[in-house]
């Protein structure tokens, strides 16, 4: 079996290499404008955009199919990304807010729900979906190209990259897009780490854990997933890591522990023999107890009865071990914490110790000339990148997908499919501008349409919703109109003009962001939600926020932005109060406060007026309100009917012309319509 | 010291009431009085009932007050001395009379002069009849203003109810200062609005001082300063003194030594220290500040270089409140000082402002947009969309290709303008229901966002017209029932209509062809070409397609076309316009141009030369940018109105009004015209009225003098006078900026107040990713302790033991 597939792979890669270059020998070389490294979700997403804009690109994949990470992971084969296929809505953009697995494309049916109807789908479905995506969109993927070395090189004065695969074929790439994901299991060095099994290789059959005491290092989703799978078989499961459990439903970060996997919290809190412990990983040691030492007889007895020949593992602390030589084969009772503290939590031995500490970026394939630095956050597991996802100090190399999560680690969804599909789209727009001089797409809107456009975005946009606090809509004010740019990376706002190709004017700009609130209250406690729009800034749940700047914020402004803010302190800010239904469309709580904020920023009256009011205002003021100028005076006034005018008059908002009763006017309209087919010659002048 | 005297005098006016000055006249003394020529206020009575008794008490008090103005107050007992004319008749007992000598200036109901204040105010008002101008409208006030410019200043008092203490205070002031200032009294709310009072409905009395004397050019408005204190004698006096005081006083003394009139009037004084180098700048600042604080704060500029100025250099300003010591401070900006005074030091005002603010905030949840509010009031109304097809992604393509014409509305449910329009849209759909080949449909863009994006709809509401095998046509007309309905019906007409004979041309122009569309538009536009091979024909045909739904166009490309322009100054190709059957055609030559240029040409020739302005057609005419010669006609089509229309038509045909847009508004059909007149003139004069309004070029509105007959030659003369500046404007069109209608609700300010560091920019050195260090600190390692013991429950380690 194994041999067969290896042979097949070789043949396949040879065929591919052959067809790609027309050369069979070693040291073959191909060049592409864009090389995408890895055919996972991020790589394919970028492939789609490159193919749509008809760029010269190639996606290089070492395995035989796309998304191979998902062939192995998650080990217990249940995806925890939500696949909510029924939302009660038919709005395709809105529905993407609740579809965490699909990639973006212009094919309305190329969605994950075609593959699976499960809320938490089987992991096998994801590579299947990706294959469908590749096939239906005809993406250029080269499988079996295992890039082992990447080095930087000078291409006509620009830095490019040369990639070499296992067959010695080299790829010259003007732009390298690294979407290799995270493959290398994260390890911590401590004494006895060789006695520990890794998440990547543990058996997934719970029977293998029957009646075993298991210590799991880590408290993330993989740790809990493992725990959950063996919960019914293991005798005791302890989870050990430095930080306490962070619950995704409390932190709003989907990388924290999802409720899907958290049954162990139940068995812990109900004292059913499982538990969580905090402590540093670097300080521990996993040891086997020395059989010769201590009380031989009892020790022998116990080891015989408990397990079949397998020796048990103890957790101890390095400081308790003999300082000389660190000989962990000679551990006695005195080297264990229980000897010193009789009620030490982890004093009982374990049958297995499992490491579930996540994954890191594979830096090793990068030559010194092309290696991006390690990120400052995320324990250095990720490459350091700029606000526009370019490797730090690595021009023309962009990092996409999970590997690009250092920008919003523990903050937003950039490390997950439902988040990075949007950052990939943003990066693609930046590429188009930088290498092809195609400016970031902008919709030109008259100012009178701005409010309804913002409401539209707020109520349906999925990129803002998923990539909260990271991507934001930019509205460049230009006087009587504005340019609306969707989903720009917020941290790159100081470089807006260069990255987007949109010129700046001195009219200022608005930024629309979705964000969670201060989160200072109990997530499920009273007072967790705000409903008063005047207190909207205290909203805890995801809600839209608008920032208004006179001038573009600088890098310095951005660095010194208020703690926890996605953007620097603006001239003025508007929070739209959180909504239980996430529908921000109510006239009093949402629309009117938004309109008044815009009025303040634009220093103009944005109210709507019926044609009759505009008629009056056009004849009695030299500059009527904006709505009349951009609607009525362009012959597009909103006429209304007597019923509506009556309401407006009763509210005291529309002038009443000395008791001239409007129903009279109304009958004339309905009569007019009644006579629609009769030849009535009217004395009225209907000229337009 | 003159001031002291004046105050004493004014006090005496109100307070001196020691002994009764009421005189009782016999018939003899009455006859003598008639000959003295003096002014007296006389009441004739014959018996006393409780009402009269109260009145007599008030009369007695008024005698004291009016004595100071040289007016005697007299009562005559008719039961003892029956004086002819006055002691007889029904009016006896209920009337009082003001005499000058033997002449009756005015008679008053005693209900009007019910108390001492009413008596004094009414009597003084009658006496000062010639000095105090009474105005109703802003236009009248403007006339008084322009007369007073460079001549004297004006005191305008707004008295909501006559005869109250405020009225008396104003009249007493007018009596004292009447020679110095032009006094104006008004009761109308129109003037209040004109003076910028936010809430004219409140029955508060107001007083303004208009600095007309000092205006440098007659065209400049007189700067007006409102009195911000209650209207009483003392306050008026103080206020007038402040208005007279120099705007800025100069001094070379220390603040505490400077003596300015403000100190004596109990008004705060602001001192600004000026340096030699910045003298001019300082002076300008002082001027600006003084203008803003006029009437409330006195401004003094102190030159630092004076030897007597000892103030420390670290201060550049000081202020002194009445009865307090000088306080020094550093001035950063002029606005800051104004704010300091308005919001902090002038306590009374602060209080008032706060009250106003509170009212504003409580109003925040009230919709102030007429469209939103009217739609919101319909929120329990279920829209009946039966006659409109709701389209989805699945049905859109099929539907729009099925009918001759599919009208599609793109809308958002939460957009008030869309929802207001959808009512009209349903009305049109109902009216067209059952008509073959026409279907009205709607796309909810909140749900079918993909359809709306695919059709590049970026503005809401949008109406697109779909025909099979043709690109969608954007409906560009008014979003109302009538306009859309007409557009759809006219869209069904094939455009252009190809005419093949002169007979058909006649039928087309006279409306026999398409007679059923006559009520939609009586205008017919005909393109005349000598043959179908003319280059212009295709262009014309394309233009006609673009104008589908808007204009009925005919095309006559035939050798007989020549006949239709025979004898006219125009050669083929030509455009013939028939405005309605029986009316002479207009003819225009047709240059060869692009279809879009042709469209604008046709649109232009279609315009009426003397249109009736309506809500629906105004934008087409305003676009011309000409001054309006606007005739307002009443509801009833009177002969006068007809005549006026005819007179203007006559001028029009003689070409003398070419620089104007002559037009008319029928107040019956366009009732909002009444509000326009009110805004122009402040009132609605008897109709018809002719008004000239220069919307684009000037702010003035001129009224054709109502006393002159609306005749062609008078109108021409009037226009001539207006152009030569010989006519006074009757009103102004404000160039007000439409700023935000309510104050800004400032979240940042609230954050700063409630969570001071939350919205503050970080200090430069702080770093973002402090998380790691934080964690290490918090979750101490086991080896930090004497006895290593990782806590199984980090959040509540102590509670662990109790389990």
The dihedrals phi and psi of A287, each to the nearest 5 degrees, come to -130, 160
Mutation target among B138, B362, B363, B371 for the A interface, most CBs of A within 10 A: B371
Q: Do A680 and B519 touch (CB under 8 A)?
A: yes
Strands B586-589 and B661-666: unpaired
Is a pLDDT exceeding 90 seen at residue B277?
no
Q: Do A592 and B367 touch (CB under 8 A)?
A: yes
B377 touches chain A (CB under 8 A): yes
pLDDT at B326: 81
B693 touches chain A (CB under 8 A): yes
pLDDT per position as a tens digit, B527-581: 988 888 888 888 899 999 899 988 889 999 888 888 888 877 788 888 888 888 8
Task: Answer positive or negative: Cα dihedral of A195, A201, A204, A208.
Answer: negative
Looking at residue B479, the DSSP 8-state letter turns out to be B
Among residues A409, A428, A447, the one where a domain terminates is A428
**Helices and strands (H and E) in chain A: how many:** 20, 22
Is a pLDDT exceeding 80 seen at residue B16?
no
Strands A213-217 and A352-355: parallel
pLDDT at A664: 39
B523 touches chain A (CB under 8 A): yes
Rounded distance between C-alpha atoms, residue B115 and residue B164, angstroms: 9
Cβ proximity of A480 and A630 under 8 Å: yes
The whole-number average pLDDT for the span B141-145 is 84
| Confidence band for A445, pLDDT divided at 50, 70 and 90 | very high
**Residues of chain A neighbouring B636 (CB-CB closer than 8 A):** none
Ramachandran bin of A60, using left for φ above 0, alpha for ψ from -120 to 50, beta for the remaining angles: beta
| Confidence band for A237, pLDDT divided at 50, 70 and 90 | very high
Together in a domain, A205 and A275: yes
Task: Answer positive or negative: Cα dihedral of B699, B640, B660, A657.
Answer: positive
Q: What is the mean pLDDT of chain A?
A: 87
Characterize A126-145 residue by residue with b for buried, 16 or more Cβ atoms within 10 angstroms of its Cβ, and e for exposed. bbbbbbebbeebebebbbbb
Q: Residue A355's closest CA among A252, A298, A411, A281?
A: A281
Q: Do A621 and B733 touch (CB under 8 A)?
A: yes
Where in the sequence is the domain holding A280, given as residue range(s)? 193-291+311-355
The whole-number average pLDDT for the span B304-316 is 76
Together in a domain, A128 and A205: no
Structural domain contains residue A20: no
**Residues of chain A neighbouring B738 (CB-CB closer than 8 A):** 604-605, 623-626
pLDDT at A326: 55
Query: How many beta carbons lie within 10 A of that of residue B585, not counting itself?
Result: 13
Is a pLDDT exceeding 60 seen at residue A685?
no
Structural domain contains residue A84: yes
Is a pLDDT exceeding 70 seen at residue B381?
yes
The strand pairing partners of A382, in sequence order, are none
The whole-number average pLDDT for the span B59-67 is 85
Structural domain contains residue A393: yes
Together in a domain, A243 and A351: yes
Together in a domain, A557 and A482: yes
Alpha-carbon distance values, B754 to A525, A544, B798 (Å): 22, 21, 34
The nearest CA of chain A is from the CA of B438 a distance in Å of 14
pLDDT at A607: 94
pLDDT at A3: 41
The nearest CA of chain B is from the CA of A504 a distance in Å of 22
Mutation target among B464, B642, B740 for the A interface, most CBs of A within 10 A: B740
pLDDT at B17: 42
Together in a domain, A444 and A586: yes
**Residues of chain A neighbouring B447 (CB-CB closer than 8 A):** 89-91
Is a pLDDT exceeding 60 seen at residue A21?
no
Cβ proximity of B248 and B285 under 8 Å: no
Together in a domain, A206 and A175: no
| Range scoring the smallest mean pLDDT among B204-213, B343-352, B442-451 | B343-352
Q: Which of 187-216 (B) contact A at CB < 8 A?
A: none
Structural domain contains residue A447: yes
pLDDT per position as a tens digit, B342-367: 777 665 544 444 444 444 444 678 89
pLDDT at B225: 85
The better pLDDT of the pair B440, B141 is held by B440
Together in a domain, A277 and A205: yes
Q: Do A678 and B763 touch (CB under 8 A)?
A: no
The nearest CA of chain B is from the CA of A18 a distance in Å of 42
Q: Look at chain A and count its residues.
A: 688
Using DSSP's 3-state secondary structure scheme, residue B457 falls into coil
Structural domain contains residue A666: no
Who contacts B432 (Cβ-Cβ below 8 Å, separation ≥6)?
A676, B438, B440, B485, B488
Together in a domain, A328 and A374: no
The whole-number average pLDDT for the span A597-615 is 95
Burial of B730 (0-12, 13-18, 19+ CB in 10 A): buried
Q: Do A537 and B616 touch (CB under 8 A)?
A: no
Query: How many beta carbons lie within 10 A of that of residue B346, not counting itself?
Result: 20
Q: Do A623 and B738 touch (CB under 8 A)?
A: yes
Q: What is the mean pLDDT of chain B?
A: 81
Structural domain contains residue A640: no
Structural domain contains residue A123: yes
| Range scoring the smallest mean pLDDT among A523-532, A624-633, B187-196, B746-755 | B187-196
The whole-number average pLDDT for the span B204-214 is 85
B386 touches chain A (CB under 8 A): no
Is a pLDDT exceeding 60 seen at residue B122?
yes
Together in a domain, A40 and A169: yes
pLDDT at A310: 64
**Residues of chain B neighbouring A669 (CB-CB closer than 8 A):** 427, 481-482
Ramachandran bin of B274, using left for φ above 0, alpha for ψ from -120 to 50, beta for the remaining angles: beta
The whole-number average pLDDT for the span B268-294 is 82
The strand pairing partners of A151, in sequence order, are A162
Prediction ipTM score: 0.88
Who contacts A687 (Cβ-Cβ below 8 Å, separation ≥6)?
B521, B523, B606, B607, B608, B611, B617, B620
Is a pLDDT exceeding 80 seen at residue A132?
yes
Among residues A369, A395, A428, the one where a domain terminates is A428
Ramachandran bin of B582, using left for φ above 0, alpha for ψ from -120 to 50, beta for the remaining angles: left
- The CATH number of residue A277's host domain is 3.50.50.60
The nearest CA of chain B is from the CA of A17 a distance in Å of 40
Together in a domain, A138 and A286: no
Ramachandran bin of B93, using left for φ above 0, alpha for ψ from -120 to 50, beta for the remaining angles: left
Is a pLDDT exceeding 70 seen at residue A635?
yes
Which of B367, B520, B672 is facing A615, going by the closest CB pair? Answer: B672
Is a pLDDT exceeding 60 seen at residue A212?
yes
Rounded distance between C-alpha atoms, residue A491 and residue A414, angstroms: 13
| Confidence band for B19, pLDDT divided at 50, 70 and 90 | low
Together in a domain, A328 and A421: no
The whole-number average pLDDT for the span B424-452 is 92
pLDDT at B359: 46
Residue pairs spanning A and B at CB distance below 8 A: 391
Is a pLDDT exceeding 90 seen at residue A114?
yes
Is a pLDDT exceeding 50 seen at residue B677?
yes
Cβ proximity of A183 and A71 under 8 Å: no
Query: How many beta carbons lie within 10 A of that of residue B764, not counting itself?
Result: 8
Query: How many beta carbons lie within 10 A of that of residue A435, not counting itself?
Result: 15
Task: Answer positive or negative: Cα dihedral of A69, A70, A71, A73.
Answer: positive
Is a pLDDT exceeding 60 seen at residue A304?
no
Looking at residue A587, the DSSP 8-state letter turns out to be I
The dihedrals phi and psi of B185, each to the nearest 5 degrees, come to -120, 140
Structural domain contains residue A71: yes
Into how many domains does chain A fold?
3
Rounded distance between C-alpha atoms, residue B125 and residue B134, angstroms: 10
Rounded distance between C-alpha atoms, residue B273 and residue B255, angstroms: 9
**Residues of chain A neighbouring B372 (CB-CB closer than 8 A):** 587, 591-592, 608
Characterize B114-128 residue by residue with b for buried, 16 or more Cβ atoms within 10 angstroms of its Cβ, and e for exposed. bbbbbbbbbbbbbbb
Which of A319, A562, A616 is facing B783, going by the closest CB pair? Answer: A319
Rounded distance between C-alpha atoms, residue A622 and residue A538, angstroms: 42
Which of A317, A452, A650 is facing B783, going by the closest CB pair? Answer: A317
| Confidence band for B651, pLDDT divided at 50, 70 and 90 | confident
| Confidence band for B135, pLDDT divided at 50, 70 and 90 | confident
Who contacts B485 (Cβ-Cβ below 8 Å, separation ≥6)?
A672, A673, A676, B427, B428, B431, B432
Together in a domain, A387 and A507: no
């Amino acid at each position: 079996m194994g041999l067969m597939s290896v042979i097949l792979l070789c043949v396949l890669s040879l065929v591919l290499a052959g067809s790609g270059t027309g050369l069979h020998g070693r040291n073959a070389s191909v060049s592409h404008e864009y090389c995408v490294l890895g055919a996972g979700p991020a790589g394919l997403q970028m492939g789609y955009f490159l193919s749509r804009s008809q760029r010269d690109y190639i996606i290089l994949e070492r395995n035989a199919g796309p998304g191979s990470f998902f062939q192995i992971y998650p080990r217990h084969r249940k995806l925890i990304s939500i696949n909510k296929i029924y939302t009660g809505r038919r709005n395709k953009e809105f529905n993407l807010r609740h579809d965490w697995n699909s990639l973006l494309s212009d094919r309305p049916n190329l969605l994950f729900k075609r593959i699976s109807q499960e809320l938490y789908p089987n992991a096998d479905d994801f590579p299947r979906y990706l294959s469908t995506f590749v096939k239906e969109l005809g993406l250029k993927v080269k499988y079996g190209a295992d890039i082992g070395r990447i080095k930087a090189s000078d291409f006509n004065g620009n830095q490019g990259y040369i990639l070499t695969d296992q067959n010695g074929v080299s790829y010259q790439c003007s732009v390298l897009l690294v979407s290799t994901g995270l493959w290398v299991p994260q390890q911590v060095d401590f004494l006895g780490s060789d006695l520990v099994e890794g998440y990547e290789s543990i058996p997934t059959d719970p029977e293998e854990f029957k009646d075993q005491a298991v210590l799991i290092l880590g408290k993330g989703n993989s740790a809990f997933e493992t725990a959950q799978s063996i919960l019914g078989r293991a005798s005791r499961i302890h989870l050990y890591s430095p930080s306490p459990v962070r619950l995704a439903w409390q932190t709003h970060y989907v990388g924290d522990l999802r409720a899907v996997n958290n049954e162990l919290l139940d068995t812990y809190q109900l004292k059913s023999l499982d538990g969580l412990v905090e402590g540093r990983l670097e300080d521990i040691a996993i040891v086997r107890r020395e059989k010769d030492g201590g009380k031989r007889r009892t020790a022998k007895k116990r080891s015989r009865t408990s397990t079949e020949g397998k020796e048990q593992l103890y957790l101890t602390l390095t400081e308790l071990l003999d300082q000389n030589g660190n000989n962990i084969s000679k551990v006695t009772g005195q080297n264990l914490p229980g000897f010193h503290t009789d009620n030490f939590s982890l004093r009982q031995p374990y049958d297995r110790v499992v490491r579930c500490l996540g994954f890191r970026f594979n830096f090793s394939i990068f030559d010194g000339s092309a290696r991006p630095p390690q990120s400052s956050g995320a324990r250095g597991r990720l490459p350091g990148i700029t606000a526009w996802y370019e490797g730090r100090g690595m021009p023309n190399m962009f990092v996409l997908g999970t590997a690009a999560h250092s920008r919003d680690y523990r903050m937003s969804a950039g490390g997950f499919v439902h988040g990075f599909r949007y950052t990939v789209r943003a990066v693609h727009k930046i590429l188009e501008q930088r290498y092809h001089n195609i400016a970031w797409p902008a919709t030109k809107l008259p100012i009178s349409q701005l409010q309804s456009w913002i409401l539209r975005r707020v109520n349906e946009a999925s990129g803002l919703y998923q990539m909260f606090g990271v991507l934001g809509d930019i509205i460049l004010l230009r006087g009587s109109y504005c340019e609306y740019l969707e989903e720009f990376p917020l941290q790159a706002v100081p470089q807006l003009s260069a990255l987007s190709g949109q010129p700046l004017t001195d009219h200022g700009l608005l930024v629309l962001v979705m964000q969670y609130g201060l989160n200072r209250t109990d997530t499920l406690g009273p007072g967790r939600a705000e409903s008063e729009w005047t207190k909207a800034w205290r909203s805890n749940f995801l809600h839209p926020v608008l920032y208004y700047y006179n001038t573009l914020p600088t890098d310095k402004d951005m660095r010194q932005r208020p703690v926890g803010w996605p953007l620097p302190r603006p001239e003025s800010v508007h929070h739209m109060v959180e909504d239980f239904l996430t529908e921000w469309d109510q006239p009093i709580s949402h629309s009117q406060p938004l309109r008044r904020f815009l009025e303040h920023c634009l220093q103009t009256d944005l109210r709507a007026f019926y044609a009759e009011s505009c008629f009056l205002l056009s004849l009695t003021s030299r500059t009527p309100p904006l709505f009349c100028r951009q609607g009525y005076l362009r012959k597009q006034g909103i006429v209304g009917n007597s019923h509506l005018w009556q309401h407006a008059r009763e509210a005291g908002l529309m002038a009443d012309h000395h008791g001239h009763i409007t129903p009279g006017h109304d009958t004339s309209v309905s009569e007019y319509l009644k006579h629609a087919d009769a030849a009535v010659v009217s004395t009225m002048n209907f000229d337009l | 010291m003159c001031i002291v005297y004046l105050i004493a005098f004014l006090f005496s006016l109100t307070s001196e009431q020691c002994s009764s000055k009421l005189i009782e006249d016999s018939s003899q003394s009455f006859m003598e009085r008639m000959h003295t020529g003096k002014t007296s206020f006389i009441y004739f009575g014959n018996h006393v009932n409780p009402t009269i008794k109260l009145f007599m008490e008030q009369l007695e008090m008024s005698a004291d007050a009016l004595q100071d103005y040289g007016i005697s107050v007299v009562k005559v007992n008719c039961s003892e001395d029956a004086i002819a004319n006055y002691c007889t008749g029904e009016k006896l007992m209920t009337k009082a009379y003001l005499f000058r000598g033997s002449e009756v200036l005015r008679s008053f109901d005693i209900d009007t002069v019910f108390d001492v204040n009413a008596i004094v105010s009414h009597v003084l008002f009658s006496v000062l009849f010639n000095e105090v101008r009474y105005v109703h409208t802003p236009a009248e006030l403007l006339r008084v203003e322009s007369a007073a410019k460079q001549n004297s200043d004006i005191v305008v008092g707004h008295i909501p109810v006559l005869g109250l203490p405020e009225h008396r205070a104003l009249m007493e002031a007018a009596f004292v200062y009447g020679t110095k200032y032009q006094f104006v009294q008004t009761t109308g709310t129109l003037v209040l609005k004109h003076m910028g009072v936010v809430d004219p409905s409140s029955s508060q009395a107001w007083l303004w001082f208009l600095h007309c004397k000092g205006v440098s050019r007659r065209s400049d408005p007189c700067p007006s300063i409102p009195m911000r204190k209650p209207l009483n004698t003392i306050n008026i006096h103080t206020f007038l003194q402040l208005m007279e005081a120099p705007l800025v006083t100069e001094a070379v003394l220390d603040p505490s030594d400077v003596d300015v009139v403000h100190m004596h009037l109990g008004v705060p004084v602001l001192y600004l220290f000026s340096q030699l180098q910045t003298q001019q700048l300082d002076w300008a600042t002082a001027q600006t500040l003084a203008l803003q604080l006029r009437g409330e704060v006195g401004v003094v500029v102190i030159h630092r270089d004076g030897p007597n100025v000892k103030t420390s250099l670290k201060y550049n300003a000081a202020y002194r409140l009445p009865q307090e010591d000088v306080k020094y401070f550093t001035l950063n900006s002029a606005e800051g000082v104004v704010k300091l005074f308005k919001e902090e030091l002038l306590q009374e005002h602060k209080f008032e402002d706060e009250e106003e603010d509170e009212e504003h905030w409580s109003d925040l949840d009230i919709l102030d947009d007429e469209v939103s509010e009217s739609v919101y009031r319909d929120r329990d109304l279920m829209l009946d969309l039966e006659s409109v097809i709701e389209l989805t992604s699945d049905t859109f393509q099929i539907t729009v290709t099925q009918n001759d014409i599919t009208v599609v509305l793109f809308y958002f449910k939460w957009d008030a303008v869309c929802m207001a329009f959808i009512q009209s849209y349903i009305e049109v759909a109902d009216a067209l229901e059952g008509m073959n080949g026409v279907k009205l449909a709607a796309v909810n863009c909140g749900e079918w966002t993909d359809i709306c994006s695919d059709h590049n709809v970026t503005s809401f509401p949008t109406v697109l017209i779909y025909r099979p095998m043709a690109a969608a046509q954007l409906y560009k007309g008014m979003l109302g029932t009538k306009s859309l309905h007409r557009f759809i019906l006219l869209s069904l007409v094939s455009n252009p209509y190809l005419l093949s004979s002169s007979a058909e041309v006649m039928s087309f122009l006279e409306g026999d062809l398409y007679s059923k569309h006559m009520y939609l538009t009586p205008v017919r536009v005909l393109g005349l070409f000598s043959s179908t091979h003319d280059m212009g024909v295709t262009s014309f045909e394309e233009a006609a397609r673009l104008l589908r739904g808007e204009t009925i166009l005919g095309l006559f490309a035939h050798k007989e076309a020549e006949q239709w322009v025979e004898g006219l100054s125009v050669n083929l190709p030509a455009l013939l316009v028939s405005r309605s059957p029986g009316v002479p055609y207009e003819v225009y030559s047709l240059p060869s141009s692009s279809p879009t240029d042709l469209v604008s040409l046709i649109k232009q020739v279609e315009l009426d030369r003397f249109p009736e302005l309506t809500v629906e057609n105004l934008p087409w005419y305003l676009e011309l940018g000409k001054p309006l010669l606007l005739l307002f006609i009443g509801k009833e089509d009177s002969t006068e109105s007809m005549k006026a229309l005819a007179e203007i038509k006559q001028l029009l045909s003689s070409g003398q009004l070419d620089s104007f847009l002559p037009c008319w508004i029928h107040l019956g059909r366009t009732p909002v015209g009444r509000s326009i007149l009110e805004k122009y003139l402040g009132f609605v004069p008897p109709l018809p009225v002719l008004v000239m309004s220069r919307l684009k070029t000037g702010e003035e509105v001129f009224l054709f003098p109502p006393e002159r007959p609306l005749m062609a030659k008078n109108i021409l003369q009037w226009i001539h006078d207006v152009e030569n500046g010989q006519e006074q404007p009757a009103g102004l069109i404000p160039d007000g900026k439409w700023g935000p209608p309510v104050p800004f609700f400032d979240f940042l300010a609230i954050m700063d107040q409630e969570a001071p560091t939350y919205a503050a920019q970080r200090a430069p050195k702080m770093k973002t990713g402090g998380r790691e260090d934080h964690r290490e600190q918090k979750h101490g390692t086991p080896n930090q302790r004497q006895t290593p013991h990782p806590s199984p429950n980090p959040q509540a380690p102590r509670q662990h033991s109790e389990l």
